[in-house]
Chain A
Amino acid sequence: MSGMVEKTGKATWLIHLGLIIGIGIVCFPIYLAFVASSVSQAELVRPPMPLLPGDQLIENYTRALFSGINAPVWRMLMNSMIMALGIAIGKIIISLMSAFAIVYFRFPMRGLFFWLIFMTLMLPVEVRIVPTYVVVADFGMLNSYSGLILPLVASATATFLFRQFYMTVPDELAEAARVDGASPMRFFIDILLPMSRTNIAALFVILFIYGWNQYLWPLLMTTDPDMNTIVMGIKQMFPSGDDLTDWPLIMATALLAMLPPVLVVVFMQKLFIKGLVETEK
């Protein structure tokens, strides 16, 4: 896009400046949290807080990771990791299978199954929390990983995506597999799955972030601090009464809470953008 429209010199320079200011504004809250996680409580409670990192970084993070307030943060990180991976992998597996069934077979009540699954596009978990909570409690799954994962695994987005993708796969491939006498499962595992690799990876990135960042559901599901996920556990670290809020500890936890999904976005940027664009279609 060079040529007439692109001005050189001063104008370009101004645009760079504008972008840097924009990034500064967007990144400032995180920088501030980082500073807060590196100073002592005494330095923080005398406003204005310092704007340069202090020397308590290692102390604060060690304290957060290994003692925390209600539960050590490493424990909450582990719970979040199990939940996020469980949701991402679970969703991908069941959607790969059901999309395969819907696209490559004609079976009784196929239409019914199809609509039952796609109606769930409309039902975010926030809308039906009380009855879903009751169902999970009746199964005795409160404070368990299955209770955290299963209700969030059912969603049509992934099925929809794989269905769209399968429909673009040339018919000849399935035809050839059939002529060669390969069973449907052989075709699914040896041909369809390898072809879906990028789609699976892109979806995994989006679903991992989705699972990691869940808040309301873990808040209801986990009354035992040892089962808290990190995103909901931060709020539990605020004192309920008049006690002083331990800001350095909370800010260290907040940064630890955002680290895994941020790393995923930064290092898998291409897959992330692909996943984002495709899941919204």
Chain B
Amino acid sequence: MTFKGWRLPVLLILPQALITAVFFFWPAGQAIYQSAFIPDPFGLKSQFVGLGNFEYLFSDPYYLASFKTTAIFSILVTLVSMSVALWLALMADRIIKGSGTYRTFLIWPYAVAPAVAGVLWLFMFNPNVGIASWYLDQIGYDWNHKLNSGQAMWLVVLASSWGRISYNFLFFLAGLQAVPKSVIEAAAIDGAHFWRRFWTIVFPLLSPTTFFLLVVNIVYAFFETFGVIHTITSGGPQQSTTILVYKVFSDGFVGQDLGSSAAQSVVLLVVVGLLTVIQFKFIERRVHY
């Protein structure tokens, strides 16, 4: 059922169309356009280099290292936040009374901004005043994420995973509660203990949720953790925590290398596109379930 006329609908859609055109398509087009040029140092004119920026980018060891850093970072964030969340959801699913209270206590870190989470974790692990670094020092472990790149990576991973636990917990809990109890009871009658029931019944039935969360968490780690990196390490030490999104920022705004930054934006556009396609394919499948 539709209404007649075309002026009204065009008028209704115009605000969104205009904002989308001005703040999405124009800048995205500019990124693609600029990625083919190198501006001169005075910004007066720029020289066409075709795919030169991309060739340069993919032969730049720092850029390739950033790819690797991003991969390690997103895998760790996804694993840490999902396994802790699954552990908590498994327990919350097994209690009858009071699960609402536990849920309330577990979901609110979702509302804490990644940048604020970064500040909290920076405070705990600050080499001078941090309580965690002090206790680590007491047991003979020297913590200084400003110098040690492995420690820096773990710190940004922990800070990024922390707020994400809430989100994964909610989806895991919903998934667990959708598993038919009769199936589990039948298995229990047959004598299957908890872990056996988990691996043979619950986990397979949970796989749509798990797969969905995998994709969503990788997208999160790629694009929404800028605040954590910027507040804790600023990409250091020696670029060891410079993920791709951070590099677009530091090359474009701090380094003023606009051609390279634009080319990096285009590469990220392709990455986002691929992840979106994966997500959509999966959601399509989930609808048929």
- Is chain B found bound to chain A in the same assembly? yes
Residues of A participating in the B interface, judged by any CB pair closer than 8 Å: 1-6, 12, 15-16, 18-19, 22-23, 26-27, 29-30, 32-33, 36, 44-45, 47-49, 93-95, 97-98, 100-102, 104-108, 110, 113, 116-117, 120-124, 126-136, 150-151, 153-154, 159, 171, 174-175, 178, 184-185, 187, 209, 212-213, 215-216, 219-220, 231-232, 234-235, 247, 250-251, 254, 257-258, 261-262, 264-266, 269, 272-273, 276-277, 280-281
Cβ of B112 and Cβ of A262 under 8 Å apart? yes
Assembly CA distance A93 to B130 (angstroms): 45
Interface 0/1 of B84-107, CB less than 8 Å to A = 100110011011101000111111
Asked if B123 CB lies within 8 Å of chain A CBs, one says: yes
Chain B residue with the shortest CB-CB distance to A136: B23
Partner of B231, one of A235, A247, A251: A235
Known: A15-B95, A105-B9, A126-B245. A23 touches B265 (CB 8 A): no
Contacting pair A15 B6 (CB below 8 A): no
* A234 / chain B contacts, CB cutoff of 8 Å: 115-116, 119, 231
Assess the B230–A122 pair: CB atoms within 8 A.
Answer: no
Looking at the complex, which of B44-52, B68-76, B146-154, B267-275 is the stretch in contact with chain A? Answer: B267-275
- Of residues A129, A175, A251, which shows the largest number of chain B Cβ atoms within 10 Å of its Cβ? A129
- Specify the main secondary structure of chain A where it touches its partner: helix
List chain B residues, Cβ under 8 A from A213. 111-116, 227
Nearest Cβ distance between residue B242 and chain A, in whole angstroms?
14
Chain B residues, Cβ within 8 Å of A98: 12-13, 15-17
Nearest B residue (CB) for A273 = B170
Q: A22-B87, A26-B165, A281-B283 are in contact. Are A131 and B27 (CB under 8 A)?
A: yes
Q: Tell yes or no: B261 within 8 A of A by CB.
A: yes
Query: Which of A12, A102, A185, A264 contacts B111, CB < 8 Å?
Result: A264
Give the 3 A-B CB pairs with smallest separation, nearest first: A213-B113, A131-B27, A105-B9
- Would A235 and B6 count as touching, CB distance under 8 A? no
Question: A32-B131, A135-B27 given as contacts; is B105 within 8 A of A27 (CB)?
Answer: yes
Q: Is the interface of B mostly helix, strand, loop or mixed?
A: helix
Nearest Cβ in chain A — how far from B219, in angstroms? 8
Report yes or no: A231 in contact with B91, Cβ–Cβ below 8 A: no
Which residues from A are CB-within-8-Å of B203? none
Query: Complex: how many Å from CA A97 to CA B84?
Result: 41
Contact present for A266 and B104 (CB under 8 Å): yes
Are the CB atoms of B92 and A19 closer together than 8 Å? Answer: yes
Cross-chain contact A49 with B129 (CB below 8 angstroms): yes
Flag if B185 contacts A117 (CB, 8 Å): no
Whether B184 is near chain A, meaning CB under 8 Å from some CB there, is yes
Q: Which residues of B contact A219 (CB under 8 A)?
A: 230
Docked complex Cα distance between A27 and B81 (Å): 15
Are B167 and A120 in touch, CB under 8 angstroms?
no
B83 in contact (CB, < 8 A): no
A–B Cβ pairs within 8 angstroms, 19 of them: A3-B185, A4-B185, A4-B189, A19-B102, A22-B87, A32-B124, A47-B128, A97-B15, A105-B9, A123-B272, A124-B272, A130-B258, A131-B265, A185-B8, A212-B113, A213-B116, A219-B230, A232-B115, A258-B111
- On chain B, the number of residues with a Cβ less than 8 Å from chain A's Cβ atoms is 97
Question: Contact: A257 with B16, CB < 8 Å?
Answer: no
Asked whether B56 is an interface residue with its Cβ less than 8 Å from the other chain, the reply is: no
Q: Give Cα A209–Cα B130 distance, bound, in whole angstroms.
A: 29
State whether the Cβ of B22 lies closer than 8 Å to any Cβ in chain A.
yes
Q: Is the CB of B272 within 8 A of A100?
A: no
Shortest CB-to-CB span from A186 to chain B, Å, is 11
Check: B24 CB closer than 8 A to any chain A CB.
Answer: yes
Q: A16 vs B92: C-alpha distance in the bound complex, in angstroms? A: 8
Please judge, given known A-B contacts A123-B28, A220-B253, whether A154 and B19 are in contact too, CB under 8 Å.
yes
- Inter-chain CA distance A113–B105, complex, in Å, is 43
Quick check: A127 and B116 within 8 Å, CB to CB? no
CB contact under 8 A between A47 and B226, given known A95-B16, A130-B31, A247-B123: no
Are B170 and A123 within 8 A (Cβ)?
A: no
Closest to A251 in B: B123
Quick check: B23 and A150 within 8 Å, CB to CB? yes
Chain A residues contacting B131 (CB-CB under 8 Å) are: 32, 47-49
Q: Find chain A residues with CB under 8 A from B189 CB.
A: 4
Of residues 140 through 189 on chain B, the ones whose CB sits less than 8 Å from some CB of chain A are: 162, 165-167, 170-171, 174, 181, 184-185, 188-189
A129 to B252, Cβ gap below 8 A?
yes
Which of B24, B34, B92, B174 neighbours the largest number of chain A CB atoms within 10 Å of its CB? Answer: B24
Q: Give A175 to B1 CA distance when docked, in angstroms.
A: 7
Chain A positions within 8 Å of B22 at CB level: 135
Give A234 to B115 CA distance when docked, in angstroms: 9
Q: A4-B189, A105-B8 are in contact. Are A257 and B249 (CB under 8 A)?
A: no
Known: A22-B106, A124-B272. 10 other contacts (CB 8 A): A1-B181, A18-B91, A48-B135, A94-B19, A116-B20, A126-B268, A151-B23, A213-B227, A215-B227, A235-B119
Q: In the complex, how many angstroms separate the beta carbon of B169 from the nearest chain A beta carbon?
A: 9
